[in-house]
Chains A and B, each alone.
Chain A
Amino acid sequence: MTETPLLHVDQVHKTYTQGVLNKRVTFDLQADFTIEKPGIVGVMGPNGSGKTTLFELITGSNNPTSGQVRVCGQDIHQVRSDQRDRLAIHYHQSYQVRHFRKRRPNFMLQPSSTDYPKVHLFDEPQFNTQDGYIGFMLDFFRRLREESRLVVLCVHPNEPFHLRIMQEICESFIFVQKGRLTQAPDFNTLLQNPDVTAYLGELVGSQAA
C-alpha cells in the first residue's frame, strides 16, 4: 500500500454562475492534482485567475461544485469546520477574508486527525526589501518543510526579486490562468510554458540579467 498523499485535489470543479433562469457561467475553476510529499510549492498566476478560490477550496471554507479535497486522507469538507485549520491553514492576504455559509453543523462532522496543520497556504505574503523580515520568512518556510509539512506559496510577482525568491525557495510550481492549472516540476520547466513567459513579461528578462 502506498502512503496517503498530503494533498489530493480530486477533480474539483468550482463554477460561479449569474442569473436565475438563464444561468450564465461567470467563472469556472478546475483542479485535479496530487502532492504526495512535503515540499514548497509555488503558485503563480494573474489576478482573478482563481488562486485564492483554490486555497479556499483546499481549506474547506469554500465548497466545490463537484469533486473532493483530501488532506492527509481526510475529505476536508467532512471535517468539523472549527478544526479544518488543523489540517490545512490559509494565511490570508492582509484582511481579505471571505466568509461562507456553513452547510452542516459540526456534530455531524468528523474531528481532525491532526492537531497541527499539515498544509500551509500563504496567500500573497508581502515581501518588502526595506526590512529584514524576508530572511525570517524564508527560514520559516524551510522549517515547516523540514517538519514534514507542505508549504504552498501564492505570489503574484511584481518585482524581479519576487521571482528570485520563488526560484530559490520553491521545489515545484503550479501556474493558474483563467481557472485552469498547469503543473511544472521545476523553475526551468515553468519558464518553458509560453503562457507563463507572457504573464511574467519583462520580469523574466531582468531576472536572467
Chain B
Amino acid sequence: MALFEARHLHKRFADQVVLEDITLSFEENQISGIMGPNGAGKTTCFNVLTGRYRPDRGTVFFDGKDITGLPPRKIARHGIARSFQMMNLFDEYTALENIVLALPEVSARGFSMTHNLAHDVDAQDRGAAVLARIGLGGREHTPASDLSYGQRRALEIGIALAAEPRMLFLDEPTSGLGTDATATLATLIQEIRKSVTIVIIEHDMKFLFDLADRIAVIHWGQVIAQGTPETLRENEWVRTSNLGALA
C-alpha cells in the first residue's frame, strides 16, 4: 500500500461538481505531481487531501490509517505538512524566529511567560539547521519582510519542514516566481526529497515534468490522465503544443 491513498473522493459545492471520483496514491520517497488547467479543482483536491474540506464521499488513508474528515491539526500531527498558495509568514520576525516558532516542541508548548526563547540555544540550533537546509544559512537574523520573494517561498517550506513531517504538500510553489527563483526552488525540492515524501500541485507543466516521478492530470474534478512524465509526454497534443517544444 502506498504511503498516502485517496479513494473515490467526491466533493460538491451546492450544484457545482468540484471533485468527482478522485482516486490517487502517493508512494513513499517519491515526488508526486498534480497538474491541471486553472479552475480544474486542483486546490480543492489539495484541501480535501490535507483535511481542510471534508469529502462528501470517499476515504483518505495515510500510512494505513483512515484520516478522512480529521481536522487539519490532527492530520498535521500524523506527520503531514502543507504550504499555502498565499504567503504565510510573520513579516516582522527574523527568518530564524519564523522557523523556531514552528518547531514542534515550541508550538506544542504554546506561548509561555516562563520560557524565554531567546535563551533556548537548542531550539535556535535546530532552527538554524532547517535554514541551512533550505539555503538560507547566514540569513538567520534578516526580518522575513526583507527577504526576496523566492527566499520567502523557501522560508515557507522551511516552516513546514520544521515540524519534521513525513509528507509535504506544496500548493503552486512556483506562483509569482521568476525563472531564476523557480530553478533555485527546483534545486531545493530535489534536496529535501531525500528526507520527505512530496506532493506538488502546479499548473506549470515544465516544472513538474522535470521534478516529479509520477503526475496526475486533474480536470473537471477528475483524474483525466496519469503516469510518469515520459508517458505523459508521449501524448500527441503535449508534443505539438508549446510545452512539447520546451520540454
Specify which of B21, B222, B237 lies most central, judged by the most chain A CB atoms within 10 Å of its CB.
Answer: B237
Tell yes or no: A27 within 8 A of B by CB. no
Contact call A130/B242, Cβ cutoff below 8 A? yes
Please report the C-alpha to C-alpha distance between residue A132 and residue B12 in the assembled complex, in whole angstroms. 27
Chain B CB count within 10 A is highest, among A85, A134, A135, A140, for A135
Q: Within 8 Å CB of B243, what residues of A?
A: 131-132
A131 to B36, CA, bound (A): 10
Q: Bound complex: CA of A135 vs CA of B224, how far in Å?
A: 10
B1 in the interface (beta carbon within 8 A): no
Contact between A140 and B225, CB atoms less than 8 A apart: yes
Asked if B241 and A91 sit within 8 Å, CB to CB, the answer is no
- Tell me which residues across on chain B come within 8 A of A130, comparing CB atoms: 241-242
Query: Which residues of A lie under 8 Å from residue B21 when comparing CB positions?
Result: 116
Task: Determine if B235 and A139 form an interchain contact, defined as CB atoms under 8 angstroms apart.
Answer: yes
One digit per residue, 1 when the CB lies within 8 angstroms of any chain B CB and 0 when it does not, for chain A 162-189 equals: 0000000000000000000000000000
Given contacts A89-B20, A130-B241, A131-B241, contact A139 B15 (CB under 8 A): no
Question: With contacts A94-B39, A139-B235 known, is A132 near B241, CB below 8 A?
Answer: yes
Q: How distant is the Cα of A91 from the Cα of B39 in the complex, in angstroms?
A: 12
* Count class of interface residues, chain A: 20 to 34
CB distance from A154 to the nearest CB of B (A): 13
Give complex CA distance A117, B225 in Å.
19
Q: Is A138 in contact with B222, judged by CB distance below 8 angstroms? A: no
**Contact among A91, A131, A135 with B236 in the assembled complex (CB-CB below 8 Å):** A135
A188 to B1: give the CA distance in the assembly, Å: 50
Q: Which residues in A have their C-beta under 8 angstroms from that of B36? A: 133
How many residues belonging to B are interface residues under a CB distance threshold of 8 Å?
Answer: 27
In contact, B37 and A97 (Cβ under 8 angstroms): no
- List chain B residues, Cβ under 8 A from A107: none
Complex alpha-carbon distance, A135 and B244, angstroms:
12
Quick check: is B42 within 8 A (CB to CB) of the other chain?
no
Any chain A CB within 8 A of the CB of B16?
Answer: yes
* Cβ contact within 8 Å between A131 and B235: no
Within residues 7 to 39 of chain B, which ones have a CB less than 8 A from any CB in chain A?
12, 14-17, 20-21, 36-37, 39
Contact partners of A94 in chain B: CB under 8 A: 39
Chain A 108-130, CB-CB to B under 8 Å as 1, else 0, gives 00000000110000100110111
- B220 is an interface residue with CB less than 8 A from chain A: yes
Q: Which of A18-61 contact B (CB under 8 A)?
A: 61
Q: Which residue of B lies closest to A116 (CB)?
A: B21
For A139, list chain B residues within 8 Å (CB): 224-225, 235
16 A/B residue pairs, CB under 8 Å, sorted by A: A89-B20, A90-B17, A97-B15, A129-B242, A130-B242, A131-B241, A131-B242, A132-B235, A132-B241, A133-B219, A134-B241, A135-B235, A135-B236, A137-B224, A139-B225, A140-B222
Interface of A toward B, CB cutoff 8 Å: 61, 85, 89-92, 94-95, 97, 99, 116-117, 122, 125-126, 128-140
Interface, chain B (partner A; CB < 8 A): 12, 14-17, 20-21, 36-37, 39, 205, 217, 219-220, 222, 224-225, 232, 235-239, 241-244
Supply 13 further A-B pairs (C-beta < 8 A) apart from A135-B241, A140-B222. Answer: A61-B15, A85-B12, A85-B17, A92-B17, A99-B14, A125-B220, A129-B241, A130-B241, A131-B37, A131-B205, A137-B219, A137-B224, A139-B224
